C-alpha cells in the first residue's frame, strides 16, 4: 500500500494536482492533503500526506520542493501542529 501512496503523490506533485482530486489508496475516498515542510532557501524538505477521511498517510523522507508548491518552514512548529494531523503512518513492507 505504501507504494500506491508513493506513486499517487509522485503523480500529484509532478502534475500539480490538488489534493481534493486524489483518491485515498486505503479507504478509496476522495480528498488527500499534502504539504511540504522544508527549507525555503534550498527548497528541500519532507512531504507528509494523509487522507482526510481515514487519517492514514505516508511521509516522504526527502523531497525537492517545486517552486510555488505549498510549504511550511522547518521551524514553524505552530503551523505544523495546526496543519498536519497525527495521522496513522503507512510504512512499506520489505
CA 44 from centroid of its chain's CA atoms: 14
Residue 37: CB minimum distance to another protein, A:
6
Least gap, CB of 90 to another protein (angstroms): 10
Query: Binding another protein by CB under 8 A: which of 1, 7, 23, 27?
Result: 7
In a 13 Å sphere around the CA of 18, the CA atoms on its Cβ side amount to: 4
**Judged by CB under 8 A, does residue 85 bind another protein?**
yes
By the criterion CB under 8 A, which residues form the site for another protein?
3, 6-7, 9-11, 13-14, 37, 39, 44-48, 59-66, 74-75, 77, 80-81, 84-87, 89, 91-92, 94
Amino acid at each position: 500500500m505504501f507504494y500506491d501512496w508513493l506513486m499517487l503523490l509522485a503523480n500529484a506533485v509532478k502534475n500539480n494536482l490538488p489534493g481534493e482530486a486524489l483518491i485515498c489508496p486505503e479507504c478509496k475516498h476522495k480528498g488527500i492533503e499534502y504539504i511540504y515542510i522544508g527549507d525555503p532557501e534550498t527548497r528541500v524538505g519532507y512531504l507528509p500526506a494523509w487522507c482526510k477521511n481515514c487519517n492514514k498517510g505516508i511521509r516522504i523522507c526527502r523531497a525537492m520542493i517545486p517552486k510555488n508548491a505549498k510549504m511550511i518552514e522547518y521551524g514553524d512548529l505552530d503551523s505544523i501542529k495546526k496543519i498536519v494531523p497525527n495521522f496513522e503512518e503507512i510504512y512499506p513492507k520489505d
